[in-house]
Chain A
């Protein structure tokens, strides 16, 4: 792929604006609260779009197109089942406790509700996880630019990381959030023509259905398997994902999705930066509206790439690489000019994901690790300085992990697996913590560890057909193993936390005011216009997701 001057001009203009925003916000960063939490001052549309954008890293964009090419419309379950319900839930039911508790981070909420050890466990695992995930996505981006543009992988990693560092260092969380909103629009405008042109090239949705029903594409499955989202979930053997509806709904739709959207500080931080309780609660629900339409933007191009290029068009050296779907389609359909915009969208998605990781890391590091365990009791200027330093070494550590990923792919896979063990049971801890006053500190901590342990045991005892054989059971795909592992982890944590809580000392209800549902004054939305009521908006968004599922049934 050869870039023209016009493409570089588009990319250059983008760089000027992201750094300019950081520069313009610099003078507002007076305290650590401004820098790390935006001083709780932002409007809903801003936090809402940032909530979405922080999750929209390059891996999400490239990975979802890849899944679109590999599994077809089944990938939409990651949105209409695996995201929308959880986003509505966190807004309507959980945000009152996150925002109302005045905690500055998710781990800090855990300390207020339970105790120090649960917070420490969550803070440290989260900090390590953010560094590794931003390193992995940095590596993925560098690899892509090397392959398609011939850019040096070291240079692309370094330049992209420095731009992100510059604007987060200058303007902190506000700069990250403002840029995420800008990047959101660039991602939409950069990929929308791809979806439209792609659909035109295959003769519309019906043309796409026809092409994807070809025997060389569906292989052993029914002809409609790539374009019908629910009809082939009756058994794991009937679809390329290798999952059946129960594992899909419970594993992805419940445990993994709620575990991510409701407890991951990376996204929750955006909502906590909103200017009022009502704005914080509407943040994830506002984000859910574009999220619902994103399959059109990111999954559809993957399906089109498969239809236009065929499985052999997506292979390299005889091996199919679905990650090529999006860049190959960009190359095929975009002329110079628009190509620059498409690459800018790719860069924007990478940067929004990375800045999200860096700003979540520096808050957890500064408040939950440094201020708690290393140097408590300093004045605020010291923590503001530490927040800035954390931005620098967080970025440096991410670059380091990018190189670890480059040399030891297996170690990275292993780490991601370990993190999935840690994350899967977390939602049970939060659910019990927020809605059951009796849940005790020891119950939460040992339940969490037990859930993580159960996930690890499940992983060791089961296998995947065609891969490592399982002692107890072999799933038909990695994804099925992953979904069921999550179900096992969540259930173990849920049951263990209840059992241990019942035999340990509960906390004094006085201390739990504002932290638990039954001990907190109810949110009243009376007197608010309907479009400001989280529950009404949530119901509308959920109805939209139901319509989508039925339409593409």
Chain B
């Protein structure tokens, strides 16, 4: 089993979940985090990390 697959999947799902919540949530909750919509921003970062992992899996498969 390629471990990058579950890691990639989990981070894609977590990223989508957080970023999606960041889009619909009440901006007032971000007063805690210095006024930054951290859910949206960090969700995108996690999504990018997850996609990078999945692209490594895909590249590995194409080679072998």
Contact B10 A182 (CB under 8 A): yes
Q: Which 3 A-B pairs have the closest CB atoms?
A: A337-B39, A335-B29, A337-B21
User: Which of A17-25, A59-67, A524-532 lies at the interface with chain B?
Assistant: A17-25
Contact A13 B17 (CB under 8 A): yes
- A37–B7 Cα distance when bound, in Å, is 22
Interface size on B, residues (CB 8 A): 26
Q: Which of A6, A182, A334 has the largest count of B CB atoms less than 10 A from its CB?
A: A6
Contact A341 B34 (CB under 8 A): no
- A129–B17 Cα distance when bound, in Å, is 40
B63 interface contact, C-beta 8 A: no
Interface residues of B (CB under 8 A from A): 1, 3, 6-7, 9-11, 13-14, 17-18, 21-22, 25, 29-30, 32-34, 36, 38-39, 42, 45-46, 49
Question: Main secondary structure on chain A at its contact with chain B?
Answer: helix
Residues of B within 8 A of A181 (CB): 3, 7
Residues of A within 8 A of B14 (CB): 10, 13, 341
- A13–B21 Cα distance when bound, in Å, is 15
User: Which of A193-201, A247-255, A439-447 lies at the interface with chain B?
Assistant: A193-201
Contact-size category for A: 20 to 34
As a 0/1 sequence over residues 8 to 19 of chain A, the CB contacts with chain B under 8 angstroms (1 = contact) are 011001100100
Interface of chain A residues 69 through 121 with chain B (CB within 8 A): none
Residues of B within 8 A of A193 (CB): 33, 38, 42
Contact B10 A25 (CB under 8 A): no
9 further contact pairs, Cβ within 8 A, besides A6-B21, A189-B49, A338-B33: A13-B10, A13-B17, A21-B6, A24-B1, A178-B3, A189-B11, A193-B38, A197-B33, A334-B32
Q: Which of A6, A185, A336 contacts B7 (CB 8 A)?
A: A185
- A257–B49 Cα distance when bound, in Å, is 33
Residues of B within 8 A of A336 (CB): 21, 25, 29
Once A189-B46, A335-B30 are accepted as A-B contacts, the answer to whether A14 and B22 lie under 8 Å apart by CB is no
Once A189-B46, A200-B34 are accepted as A-B contacts, the answer to whether A337 and B25 lie under 8 Å apart by CB is yes
Q: Which of B9, B18, B34 contacts A338 (CB 8 A)?
A: B18
A143 interface contact, C-beta 8 A: no
How near does chain B come to A343, taking the closest CB pair, in angstroms? 13
Q: Identify the closest chain B residue to A6 (Cβ).
A: B21
- A337–B18 Cα distance when bound, in Å, is 6
Residues of A within 8 A of B39 (CB): 335, 337-338
Interface of chain A residues 176 through 222 with chain B (CB within 8 A): 178, 181-182, 185, 189, 193, 197, 200-201
Contact A341 B18 (CB under 8 A): yes
Residues of A within 8 A of B45 (CB): 189
- A335–B36 Cα distance when bound, in Å, is 10
List, sorted by A's number, 16 A–B pairs whose CB atoms are closer than 8 Å.
Answer: A10-B14, A13-B10, A13-B14, A20-B6, A24-B1, A182-B10, A189-B11, A189-B42, A333-B33, A334-B33, A335-B29, A335-B32, A335-B39, A337-B22, A338-B38, A338-B39
Residues of A within 8 A of B42 (CB): 189, 193, 338, 341
